[in-house]
Structure 1
Amino acid sequence: MLIMATKLNKKLLKTLSAVLFSAVVFVGCNDFFGDKTDLSFIDLPEFTNRDIAYVPIQPAWDQFVYPTDICIGFDELLYVVDEATQQIIGLDESGREQGRFSVPGVTSVTQDRRFDLLACGTLDTVSASGDPITLACIYRIRLLNQNGQYGIRYARIVNKIIHPFYSRSNVNAQDLTVRFGKVAIMASDIPSQNNRYYVTRQGQGGSSILGPNDAVLIFSNTDQFETPISVSTSSGIFNNFFQKPSGIATYAVPPQIQASQERHFFYSSVDPANELKVQFIEYIETDFGAEFRPVIFPVGDTSRADGFLFEPNKFSKPSAIAVAGDNTRFLFVVDEEKDSLFQFTRDGFEGVLPPPATGRTKLEKASFGGTGNGLTQFNRPSGVGYYRRIVYVADSGNGRILRFRLTLDFN
């Protein structure tokens, strides 16, 4: 397939060159043929020297101001957060808008398996002394109305999880610094366990009882706070393991008839002091109880790959991550400061395995990026999603959603 694609690319280039050469010769003489024709309207295709690469799907969706997140729902629709307009925009796979719904301070959105949206935003209120304050809030948004109509046009808020009132009744100065980051869903065949979810939270300080405000929290499927996560390592148990957590992802994502019931998750940290800013946390049940443990991924085996998830300082500001719900199990990371999209295997190796016919067994790097507004460039990307072999990136600074597909996935 690669040989055929290479031949086609060479043939296309020769044909295109011949056409352009003929056009230039034909219009090259002002005196004989008249004024030169302006050929600037011809959109030359962009080619890559790599056999394996993510190529852009045009057009870019540019009907946004500052899109910060994109969610692919279990309802097979897409939901984009526009932080500038404080809206969630529903789209079909072609990019056609289905409607918009306003949520105060919204920055991210996820859909659970009941088709409810969970949006991280803010709530303006007043303190006990009457002063105006802004608190972090998770909004549960129902897309099915009382008449049985479904969609973002019929959305309504059915619950608000306001920090810190899910755990205590008083507000202190540190609570005003808290913001929720992103939500990841857990799946289970047990109804009481299905649709529980993780939430990343950032903020200054914390409490002696509930731990630091920088945390990953667990909520029930009825939006009841359960616990912050403590992580067990060879050095002990830490309730302050998560430093400035931002992105989070489980394998309970579409497309799946039956979602993965693993409670493991990837998370990203935007703490500049953290050398390993994307990690995999494993949930283990033993005879002595259950615990969360970090998984150590291999680094340095260049016979298998040229890049690794666990390279120290691999990332600068990995604001969002996503996993593939299909059999590839890929991990995607967008870095807001490096203006890049990174792709890894589930085992932490960077790259994609070439087709068996090539005889190559080493993964080939498919990560890409760079600062700009080209079709393979970004400006502060802060959201990423994956569905049906297409990677979606919320290119915040350029006000657009970009789509990419792996060259190996084109028939």
Structure 2
Amino acid sequence: MMLRKFPLLLLLSALSAATTLQSCEFLLGSKKDDTVDDIFDQGAIDPNLVPQSVGYVPVLPFFQGFINPVDICVGYDEMIYVVDDNGVNVLDQKGTRYTIIPIPGATDVVQDRRLHTYIAGRVTVVRGGNTLNLPAVYHLVNTGTRTYSIIDTLIHPDCDESRLTTPFRGAEDEQVQFTGLATLHDNTLYVSRTGPNNYFASSARPDNAVLIFNAAGNNIDYAAGLNPVSSGLKSSVGISSIATLAAPPQRIFGMSESRNFVVTLNSTTTPLEFRVLALRYVVDPELGPSFAESSDLLDFDTTKAKRFLYQPGRFKSPEDVFVAPDQLQYSFVVDSGTDSFYQFTNRGYEGVNAPATYSDRKQIIASFGGNGSGPFQFKDPSGVCYFKRMVYVADKGNGRICRYKLSTDIE
């Protein structure tokens, strides 16, 4: 069962105007609100928490009152979307909660450039007289207002074109999960998936995979070339999140058109040497498109950095990853196994760029964490995103959204 789609109605040239009309006072508050100006400038910075060296600084107040928040994103509409036990909370930039979208079993949220929002959750269906709970991706519009509507639902296994000729697997299909969502510059949707069936001989795609959908919601491909059963630089075992190089804010020019993506792997049953992987889109003239490893990230140049993204055993239970869409292209990872936040360059070096005044040109380690409730501590951090130089972390165990800015970004 699969609900049909709306046609594409919004032109790219109208996106910026649509965002402005939708937001205005609803998003930013009154022009006379000085608190809004302070928040947009840098938030409340406690001078006692500013590091003597370069590092991330808490921006207070943190957003509180969530029940097990597991994902966060800032949309192209510039609203903040937080997934917790109640569903998807919609906030403005001040942290004011405007509505909650009650999606069953919601785990992930993302928005494309049309301002269409996708939410991974579950759906109850009846097949052959049996009531089943299956993974689904809900497609919504107008989520930045209180008049949102669901216009489509992608339901496993029907949304996977390779399953159209294979029988329904019953309880095994119920074990499948959609674990991550990401979009591209052209509104292509990537959906990461995990599950028990990963046979190479099957005509159906493995459950451990990344499905690819076009803007109309049609399954046009999957990420070929990945290994669904074993460790390696192209593993798809236990994908827990996915990120692309295209992300808000909205812009007409300068948006990355790369089809590459980054995944985190959080399998508890398969030993994994690498748990955060960057995959490159390649096209073979005979075999067609697939995804290749980024072996250059194995170049551990200790003259440039002390720690690296591809160090074996670097992570325990990475839950989410995000790639900054600005010129620095920093990557951010949160790991519930270490209760920590990590930052890397696009070369895989851990740390931020040293200021021009520093004689030591190595990357400066800016990662932090540890179990607790302090401003630099987390309990099971499960989501991360970045928007206009602000890092947001969904701190699941503490029921809050933490915000940070790099000290060099604070004027």
Range of TM-score over shorter length: 0.7 to 0.9
Instruction: With the length of structure 1 as denominator, give the TM-score of the two structures.
Output: 0.81
Distance, in Å, in 1 between the alignment partners of 2:178 and 2:96 is 29
1:69 alignment partner, one of 61, 66, 71: 71
Residues 55, 407 of structure 1: 8 Å contact kept: yes
Distance, in Å, in 1 between the alignment partners of 2:150 and 2:136 is 12
Identity over aligned pairs, percent: 36
Distance, in Å, in 2 between the alignment partners of 1:126 and 1:260 is 42
Larger Cα Rg: Structure 1 or Structure 2?
Answer: 1
Distance, in Å, in 2 between the alignment partners of 1:356 and 1:405 is 19
| Count of aligned pairs | 349
1:215 aligned to 2:209?
A: yes
Distance, in Å, in 1 between the alignment partners of 2:363 and 2:168 is 53
1:294 aligned to 2:286?
A: no
Residues 106, 119 of structure 1: 8 Å contact kept: yes
2:171 alignment partner, one of 158, 170, 173: 173
In the TM superposition, residue 256 of structure 1 has moved relative to its aligned partner by 4.5
Match for 1:57: what amino acid? V
Match for 2:64: what amino acid? D
Question: What's the counterpart of residue 127 of structure 1?
Answer: 127
Question: What's the counterpart of residue 270 of structure 1?
Answer: 266
Distance, in Å, in 2 between the alignment partners of 1:336 and 1:46 is 27
In the TM superposition, residue 210 of structure 1 has moved relative to its aligned partner by 2.1
In the TM superposition, residue 255 of structure 1 has moved relative to its aligned partner by 2.1
Deviations 1:43-87 (A, max 9, x none): x964466511111111111121111110111111111111x21x2
> Higher mean Cα deviation, 219-228 or 169-178?
169-178
Distance, in Å, in 1 between the alignment partners of 2:235 and 2:391 is 30
Instruction: With the length of structure 2 as denominator, give the TM-score of the two structures.
Output: 0.81
Match for 2:266: what amino acid? V
Distance, in Å, in 2 between the alignment partners of 1:110 and 1:322 is 12
Question: What's the counterpart of residue 17 of structure 1?
Answer: none
Shift in CA distance, 113/48, structure 1 to aligned 2, threshold 3 Å: closer
1:250 aligned to 2:249?
A: no
Distance, in Å, in 1 between the alignment partners of 2:52 and 2:347 is 23
Could you tell me which runs of 5 or more consecutive residues in structure 1 were left unpaired when the two chains were aligned.
1-43, 144-149, 188-193
Deviations 1:128-173 (A, max 9, x none): 1x23221000000111xxxxxx734111111011101123363432
Question: What's the counterpart of residue 195 of structure 1?
Answer: 187
In the TM superposition, residue 241 of structure 1 has moved relative to its aligned partner by 3.5
Note the aligned Cα RMSD (angstroms).
2.0
SS of match in other structure, 2:67: coil
Question: What's the counterpart of residue 162 of structure 1?
Answer: 155
Deviations 1:223-263 (A, max 9, x none): 11123322279xxxx9x941011111111101241321100
In the TM superposition, residue 328 of structure 1 has moved relative to its aligned partner by 1.3
SS of match in other structure, 1:293: strand
SS of match in other structure, 1:385: strand
Match for 1:292: what amino acid? F
Residues 78, 92 of structure 1: 8 Å contact kept: yes
Match for 2:179: what amino acid? G
Shift in CA distance, 47/402, structure 1 to aligned 2, threshold 3 Å: closer
Distance, in Å, in 2 between the alignment partners of 1:290 and 1:401 is 38
Segments of 4+ moved more than 6 angstroms: none
Question: What's the counterpart of residue 280 of structure 2?
Answer: 282
Match for 1:394: what amino acid? A
Distance, in Å, in 2 between the alignment partners of 1:286 and 1:133 is 40
Question: What's the counterpart of residue 153 of structure 1?
Answer: 146
Residues 240, 320 of structure 2: 8 Å contact kept: yes
Match for 2:83: what amino acid? V
Distance, in Å, in 1 between the alignment partners of 2:301 and 2:235 is 28
Residues 69, 396 of structure 2: 8 Å contact kept: yes
Distance, in Å, in 1 between the alignment partners of 2:246 and 2:95 is 24
Distance, in Å, in 2 between the alignment partners of 1:52 and 1:298 is 26
Distance, in Å, in 2 between the alignment partners of 1:203 and 1:90 is 30
Could you tell me which runs of 5 or more consecutive residues in structure 2 were left unpaired when the two chains were aligned.
1-45
Distance, in Å, in 2 between the alignment partners of 1:256 and 1:366 is 27
